[in-house]
């Protein structure tokens, strides 16, 4: 992807859809939800299933998610992607699809995700990972026997290290949750809508020191989809396009015990690459959608993407810079902390970024939003992928 001119603005997100519930639970199977989201996102774009020749999906009980989904949809795509990196998969799908469209490998691509962990838990079939899934992994042999509670334990290690190295405080992490909840109070679809304070966060139960319950994401059902098309085609569709200006991906480890530096993620690579392809700096971003599995996830992303210097994230977020009226509106839907979090949140980052660029977000709309970033995090701070979107194909 070294040819910046061939990639930047060659493709656009032209349709989005998501489904959440005030109860956190949604009726229907995962496959039914995926099909519903694809239909809704295509309808949003003014397209139909007959237009689709590219499919991306990471979610399947079998071994070939995109193949199984395409078979169910009754299509034979000429571009396919089953990349699975957890919550960042969908930013990677957009990166891959935009590149494929730029090179003529497909015309219209869909990426979709659906999951029902809250319903699964109620049925007694849920859990962070099933015993069968964990049994043969290095995590089971080298981390879980030592009492590391997963997944929050991995993030607690990163938060503890950041505090020890840079003096970051629990109050500063809590400020991220407070700002995110401020956005959720303006989103009638958010799971949690009551405002909270720093004291509320610190008074919530400790999950894995130093992370409290309100530092941690929700567990809900949810689903979403995005549709991409060429820039030329996008100009003639139903909604204003969100052009893909830049993209970058980097994964640094699988197990958190192998993370090269607990205070530095792959975002330190993916962010600069995405901004370089887009031809912009972090200072030109109007709205940011940063994966918020935990408050520390956001703080590390802010530093690694260059919104502030390494080690200065705590002071950067302390005064509400991420909330309504702040200089860097972030996670404007309410994020994974308050909107929804069905196991993997990356698809919702993209949906909200597009809606902000279209001006469709009502009371939480960021005035004049022209450039948005969606930054996914997968695994345990393992795989980072950054997408830069804009209202114009060139900036």
Torsion of Cα atoms, 144 then 146 then 151 then 157, to 10°: -150
- The residues pairing with 16 across neighbouring beta strands, listed in sequence order, are 226
Element (H, E) at 81: strand 79-81
Q: Rounded to an integer, what distance in angstroms lies between the CA atom of residue 90 and that of residue 347?
A: 6
Q: Which of 113, 155, 243, 291 is catalytic?
A: 291
Q: Rounded to an integer, what distance in angstroms lies between the CA atom of residue 157 and that of residue 176?
A: 18
Catalytic: 146?
no
Q: Which of 113, 155, 243, 339 is catalytic?
A: 339
Q: Rounded to an integer, what distance in angstroms lies between the CA atom of residue 146 and that of residue 154?
A: 12
Catalytic: 155?
no
Asked if residues 37 and 114 have their Cβ atoms less than 8 Å apart, the reply is: yes
Q: Rounded to an integer, what distance in angstroms lies between the CA atom of residue 57 and that of residue 42?
A: 16
Q: Rounded to an integer, what distance in angstroms lies between the CA atom of residue 124 and that of residue 166?
A: 42
Task: Output the six-digit token pair for 110.
Answer: 């869909």
Task: Output the six-digit token pair for 367.
Answer: 């005035």
N-to-C CA span, the chain: 19
Beta-carbon contacts of 238 under 8 Å, excluding residues fewer than 6 positions away, are 14, 15, 44, 45, 46
Residue 371 sits at φ, ψ, to 5 deg, of -135, 130
Q: Rounded to an integer, what distance in angstroms lies between the CA atom of residue 335 and that of residue 295?
A: 11
The catalytic residue positions are: 291, 339
């Amino acid at each position: 992807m070294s040819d910046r001119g061939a990639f930047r603005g060659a493709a656009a997100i032209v349709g989005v859809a998501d489904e959440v519930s005030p109860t956190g639970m949604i009726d229907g199977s995962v496959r039914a939800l995926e099909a519903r989201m694809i239909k809704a996102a295509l309808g949003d774009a003014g397209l139909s299933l007959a237009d689709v020749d590219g499919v991306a999906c990471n979610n399947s009980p079998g071994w070939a998610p995109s193949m199984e989904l395409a078979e169910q949809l009754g299509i034979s795509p000429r571009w396919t992607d089953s990349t699975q990196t957890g919550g960042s998969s969908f930013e990677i799908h957009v990166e891959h699809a935009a590149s494929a469209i730029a090179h003529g490998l497909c015309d219209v691509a869909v990426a979709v995700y659906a999951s029902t962990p809250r319903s699964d838990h109620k049925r007694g079939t849920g859990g962070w990972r099933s015993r069968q899934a964990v049994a043969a992994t290095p995590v089971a042999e080298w981390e879980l026997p030592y009492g590391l509670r997963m997944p929050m334990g991995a993030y607690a290690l990163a938060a503890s290290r950041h505090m020890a190295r840079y003096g970051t405080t629990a109050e500063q992490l809590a400020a991220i949750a407070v700002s995110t909840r401020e956005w959720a109070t303006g989103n009638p679809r958010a799971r949690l809508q009551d405002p909270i304070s720093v004291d509320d966060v610190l008074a919530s139960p400790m999950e894995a020191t130093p992370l409290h319950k309100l530092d941690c994401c929700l567990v809900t059902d949810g689903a979403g989809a995005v549709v991409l098309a060429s820039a030329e085609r996008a100009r003639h569709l139903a909604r204003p396009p969100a052009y893909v200006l830049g993209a970058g991906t980097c994964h640094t480890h699988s197990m958190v015990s192998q993370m090269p530096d607990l205070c530095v993620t792959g975002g330190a690579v993916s962010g600069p690459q995405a901004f370089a392809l887009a031809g912009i700096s972090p200072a030109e971003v109007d709205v940011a959608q940063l994966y918020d599995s935990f408050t520390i996830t956001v703080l590390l992303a802010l530093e690694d993407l260059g919104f502030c210097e390494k080690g200065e994230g705590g002071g950067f977020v302390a005064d509400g810079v991420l909330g309504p009226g702040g200089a860097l509106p972030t996670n404007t839907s309410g994020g994974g902390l308050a909107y929804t979090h069905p196991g993997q949140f990356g698809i919702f980052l993209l949906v909200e970024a597009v809606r902000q660029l279209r001006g469709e977000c009502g009371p939480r709309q960021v005035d004049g939003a022209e450039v948005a970033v969606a930054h996914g995090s997968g695994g345990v701070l393992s795989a980072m992928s950054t997408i830069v979107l804009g209202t114009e194909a060139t900036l």
